[in-house]
């Protein structure tokens, strides 16, 4: 989601290729398709056919943060805040998101479309680590919005907001409790055109895979 949102926001002439997930094994269609493009066989993968590496191959980037930095160099738009201090603070938040919030991510897998609020109530009640992750999110977002004066974490919509977009979707889908200020920020992210378009595409192309659905037994539940 992060790379897709950033490209929609800052490089609208890109071409998106959808790799349907069917398993983690090396013989899965997903792993074969991703492995043909990236040494890690994971997504996202950004391929710039106009740029060549020292072997003459198209430039391939396979890490979300590296993709964000490349997009920032590719476009004149402010993917990161122009202020050096705020830029460093927003990069710190991205790095924290990149490596942390494990309880929230593992207990609330991102699932755009269904209403999992009843499941969210149980997770919130029973999992102190998830509550601690959300407390940290609320503090981080509140501080960033105070520093930038909003409407987004770094002022204008940028890499840090795209980075937290999957978390926004988790909080929304699972109906996890946040302050009114944080709910307003979430609504702004969800309504931002690049995010809204990504959500629409995700819902339209979704395929129900039972082993990836810990809280549903069918697409209708």
Kindly report the CATH number assigned to the domain that includes residue 127: 1.20.1050
Residue 177 Cα distances to 35, 84, 134, 135, angstroms = 39, 33, 9, 10
Looking at the fold, whether 121 and 53 belong to one and the same domain comes out as no
- Rounded CA-CA distance 221/10 in Å is 36
In the three-class reduction of DSSP (H, G, I as helix; E, B as strand; rest coil), residue 197 is classed as helix
Structural domains of the chain, count: 2
Position 135 in a domain: yes
Looking at the fold, whether 95 and 69 belong to one and the same domain comes out as no
Domain boundary at 31, 47, 74, which? 74
Q: Which of 148, 149, 192 is nearest to 168 (CA)?
A: 192
Q: Which residues of 18-43 are buried (b: 16+ CB within 10 A; e: fewer)?
A: ebebbeeeeebebbebbeebbeebeb
- Kindly report, residue by residue over 89-99, the tens digit of the pLDDT: 999 999 999 88
Flag whether pLDDT at 37 surpasses 80. yes
Domain boundary at 34, 55, 74, which? 74
Q: Is the pTM of this model over 0.75?
A: yes
Looking at the fold, whether 104 and 44 belong to one and the same domain comes out as no
- Kindly report, residue by residue over 63-79, the tens digit of the pLDDT: 999 999 999 998 888 99
Cβ atoms 182, 167 nearer than 8 A: no
Looking at the fold, whether 137 and 102 belong to one and the same domain comes out as yes
Cβ atoms 123, 107 nearer than 8 A: yes
Position 95 in a domain: yes
- Rounded CA-CA distance 57/160 in Å is 30
Neighbours of 17 (CB within 10 A): 9
User: If you average pLDDT over residues 46-55, what whole number do you get?
Assistant: 94
Q: Containing domain of residue 65, as a range?
A: 2-74
């Amino acid at each position: 989601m992060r790379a897709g949102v950033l490209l929609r926001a800052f490089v609208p002439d890109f071409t998106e290729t959808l790799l349907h997930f069917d398993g983690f094994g090396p013989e899965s269609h997903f792993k074969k398709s991703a492995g043909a493009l990236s040494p890690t066989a994971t997504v996202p993968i950004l391929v710039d056919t106009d740029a060549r590496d020292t072997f003459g191959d198209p430039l391939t980037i396979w890490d979300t943060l590296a993709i964000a930095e490349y997009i920032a160099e590719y476009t004149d738009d402010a993917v990161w805040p122009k202020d050096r201090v705020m830029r460093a603070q927003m990069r710190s938040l991205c790095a924290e998101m990149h490596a942390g919030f494990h309880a929230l991510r593992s207990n609330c897998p991102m699932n755009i479309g269904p209403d999992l609020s009843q499941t969210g109530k149980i997770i919130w009640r029973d999992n102190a680590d998830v509550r601690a992750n959300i407390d940290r999110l609320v503090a981080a977002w509140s501080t960033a919005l105070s520093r930038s004066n909003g409407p987004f974490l770094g002022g204008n919509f940028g890499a840090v907001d795209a980075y937290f977009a999957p978390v926004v979707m988790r909080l929304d889908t699972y109906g996890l409790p946040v302050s009114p200020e944080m709910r307003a920020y979430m609504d702004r992210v969800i309504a931002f055109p690049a995010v809204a378009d990504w959500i629409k595409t995700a819902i339209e192309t979704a395929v129900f895979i039972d082993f990836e659905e810990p809280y549903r037994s069918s697409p209708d539940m």
